[in-house]
Copies of this chain bind each other. A is one copy, B any other.
Amino acid sequence: MSAVNTETIDMLGGVSTNTIAGLLLKIGNMRTRAIRGVRPLNRDCCRFVGPAFTVRYVPVREDLTESASLASPTSHLAGTLDNLPRGCVMVFDMMRDETSGCVGDVLMSRMIVQGVAAVVCDGGMRDTSAIARMAIPVWCAATAPPPSARSLMAADVQTMIACGGVMVRPGDIVVGDEDGVAVIPAHLAEEVARKGVEQERVEAWIRRKVERGAKLAGLYPPREESQAACRAWVAAGSPEEG
């Protein structure tokens, strides 16, 4: 379902969204790859990595409320939600509408059974008390009791969408941690993973030095010099006093 291999996805699990956002700014000057305005329902269950499966909503037309129901016989979304690819991250474009809730506990249960990795939506979410206790990271902009049919209806799935100000294409790699959610274009995932793992190592080394009293000047943000010193330290077996 995505051009990105499992090794890359596993590596990205060890890279923070901070590091990813910083790398995307350097690679191609990408300023708009962190989803804005969303937060995890449960901060203790907010980390995830996986390829995007996209769903797009538009404002409801009131005479279509019935068929706008997620599982109406005339809605193809129901069929879609029963056949999701294992490991995908569901990304919902709700146009930042916080007045209704996208997914409730029944749909979330069905997603978990199918192995969905996480859910991200830039609008509201329902049944959040039950969902926050489930073993799946869920990110949203608000909690909202009304069903999505209150204000929205699904327009299509697996197209290019906007979510929290970020363009998301099916198969883009979506990563979440305590700071937020970042979206990596599929063709850049391998480069970001490789450089990201290296950068995490260098920054941990720097932070350790700073905690022991080192000044920032010449050390951080890391230029070539810092990186070389870190590599040398690793090559020397990461001595305690390094």
A interface, CB within 8 angstroms of B: 16-18, 20-22, 25, 28-34, 36, 39, 58-63, 65, 69-71, 78-79, 81-82, 95, 98-99, 101, 104-107, 109-110, 112-113, 126-129, 132, 143-147, 149-151, 153, 155-156, 159-162, 165-167, 177-180, 182, 185, 203, 206-207, 210-211, 213, 215-217, 220-221
Contact across chains for A16 and B145 when beta carbons are under 8 A apart: yes
- Contacts of A211 on B, CB cut-off 8 Å? 109, 112-113
| Chain B residues, CB < 8 A from A129 | 177-179
Give A144 to B130 CA distance when docked, in angstroms: 27
Q: How many copies does the complex hold?
A: 6
Report whether B71 and A217 are in contact in the complex, using a CB–CB cutoff of 8 Å: yes
Q: Of B29, B31, B99, B178, which is within 8 A of A36 by CB?
A: B99
